[in-house]
Structure 1
Amino acid sequence: MAVKKWKLKKGANCYNCGDATIHDIELDEFDIKIRCRDCGFSRYYSFHMVDLPRKCDVD
Protein backbone atom coordinates (compact mmCIF):
# COMPACT_ATOMS: atom_id res chain seq x y z
CA MET A 1 0.00 0.00 0.00
CA ALA A 2 1.43 3.37 -1.02
CA VAL A 3 1.69 5.98 1.71
CA LYS A 4 0.99 9.60 0.82
CA LYS A 5 3.92 11.97 1.43
CA TRP A 6 3.36 14.60 4.14
CA LYS A 7 4.42 18.17 3.37
CA LEU A 8 4.80 20.36 6.44
CA LYS A 9 6.34 23.73 7.28
CA LYS A 10 7.93 24.86 10.52
CA GLY A 11 9.64 28.03 11.70
CA ALA A 12 13.13 27.37 13.07
CA ASN A 13 16.71 28.61 13.06
CA CYS A 14 18.62 27.24 10.07
CA TYR A 15 21.56 24.97 10.84
CA ASN A 16 23.52 26.47 7.91
CA CYS A 17 22.72 30.21 7.70
CA GLY A 18 21.45 30.69 11.26
CA ASP A 19 18.41 32.75 10.20
CA ALA A 20 15.02 32.19 11.81
CA THR A 21 12.98 31.21 8.77
CA ILE A 22 10.40 28.75 7.49
CA HIS A 23 11.61 25.20 6.78
CA ASP A 24 9.84 22.83 4.40
CA ILE A 25 9.58 19.27 5.74
CA GLU A 26 8.73 16.33 3.50
CA LEU A 27 8.04 13.01 5.20
CA ASP A 28 7.25 9.66 3.65
CA GLU A 29 7.50 6.07 4.84
CA PHE A 30 11.29 5.92 4.38
CA ASP A 31 12.77 9.45 4.35
CA ILE A 32 12.58 12.90 5.89
CA LYS A 33 13.85 15.97 4.01
CA ILE A 34 14.16 19.33 5.79
CA ARG A 35 14.93 22.37 3.61
CA CYS A 36 15.56 26.01 4.58
CA ARG A 37 13.55 28.38 2.37
CA ASP A 38 16.12 31.14 2.90
CA CYS A 39 19.42 29.53 1.83
CA GLY A 40 18.19 26.21 0.36
CA PHE A 41 20.26 24.07 2.75
CA SER A 42 18.75 20.58 3.05
CA ARG A 43 19.15 17.72 5.49
CA TYR A 44 18.07 14.16 4.71
CA TYR A 45 17.23 11.36 7.11
CA SER A 46 16.43 7.77 6.15
CA PHE A 47 14.90 5.12 8.35
CA HIS A 48 13.58 1.60 8.11
CA MET A 49 10.52 0.56 10.07
CA VAL A 50 9.96 -3.05 11.01
CA ASP A 51 6.58 -4.42 12.03
CA LEU A 52 7.30 -6.96 14.76
CA PRO A 53 4.67 -9.55 15.69
CA ARG A 54 3.23 -9.40 19.19
CA LYS A 55 4.60 -11.76 21.77
CA CYS A 56 1.98 -14.21 23.00
CA ASP A 57 1.97 -16.11 26.25
CA VAL A 58 1.73 -19.79 25.36
CA ASP A 59 0.78 -22.28 28.08
Structure 2
Amino acid sequence: MEFVRENNKILGYIISSVNIFISGMASIRGVIMIATGTPIGILACAFLVVDGANSIRS
Protein backbone atom coordinates (compact mmCIF):
# COMPACT_ATOMS: atom_id res chain seq x y z
CA MET A 1 0.00 0.00 0.00
CA GLU A 2 2.85 2.40 0.85
CA PHE A 3 4.61 1.67 -2.46
CA VAL A 4 1.52 2.68 -4.46
CA ARG A 5 1.23 5.94 -2.53
CA GLU A 6 4.87 6.74 -3.18
CA ASN A 7 4.43 6.03 -6.88
CA ASN A 8 1.40 8.32 -7.01
CA LYS A 9 3.47 11.11 -5.44
CA ILE A 10 6.26 10.55 -7.95
CA LEU A 11 3.75 10.54 -10.81
CA GLY A 12 2.24 13.76 -9.47
CA TYR A 13 5.65 15.43 -9.43
CA ILE A 14 6.33 14.29 -13.01
CA ILE A 15 2.97 15.64 -14.22
CA SER A 16 3.58 18.94 -12.42
CA SER A 17 7.05 19.34 -13.91
CA VAL A 18 5.76 18.62 -17.42
CA ASN A 19 2.99 21.19 -16.91
CA ILE A 20 5.52 23.82 -15.77
CA PHE A 21 7.78 23.06 -18.75
CA ILE A 22 4.94 23.34 -21.28
CA SER A 23 3.67 26.56 -19.67
CA GLY A 24 7.14 28.06 -19.78
CA MET A 25 7.53 27.15 -23.44
CA ALA A 26 4.14 28.73 -24.24
CA SER A 27 5.22 31.92 -22.48
CA ILE A 28 8.52 32.04 -24.34
CA ARG A 29 6.80 31.37 -27.66
CA GLY A 30 4.30 34.14 -26.91
CA VAL A 31 7.09 36.64 -26.17
CA ILE A 32 8.87 35.74 -29.42
CA MET A 33 5.66 36.10 -31.41
CA ILE A 34 4.89 39.45 -29.76
CA ALA A 35 8.26 40.74 -30.91
CA THR A 36 7.63 39.74 -34.52
CA GLY A 37 3.84 39.93 -34.92
CA THR A 38 1.07 42.14 -36.17
CA PRO A 39 -1.12 44.10 -33.71
CA ILE A 40 -3.84 41.40 -33.60
CA GLY A 41 -1.17 38.70 -33.28
CA ILE A 42 0.43 40.65 -30.44
CA LEU A 43 -2.86 40.61 -28.53
CA ALA A 44 -3.24 36.84 -29.03
CA CYS A 45 0.37 36.20 -28.00
CA ALA A 46 -0.01 38.38 -24.92
CA PHE A 47 -2.80 36.02 -23.91
CA LEU A 48 -0.37 33.08 -24.36
CA VAL A 49 2.17 34.76 -22.10
CA VAL A 50 -0.36 35.53 -19.36
CA ASP A 51 -1.89 32.05 -19.56
CA GLY A 52 1.55 30.43 -19.36
CA ALA A 53 2.50 32.56 -16.38
CA ASN A 54 -0.77 31.70 -14.67
CA SER A 55 -0.21 27.97 -15.25
CA ILE A 56 3.30 28.15 -13.80
CA ARG A 57 2.01 30.01 -10.75
CA SER A 58 -0.69 27.41 -10.04
TM over 0.5: no
Question: Which structure: greater helix fraction?
Answer: 2
Q: TM-score, normalised by structure 1?
A: 0.21
Higher relative contact order (CA 8 A, sep 6+): 2
Structure number, greater radius of gyration = 1
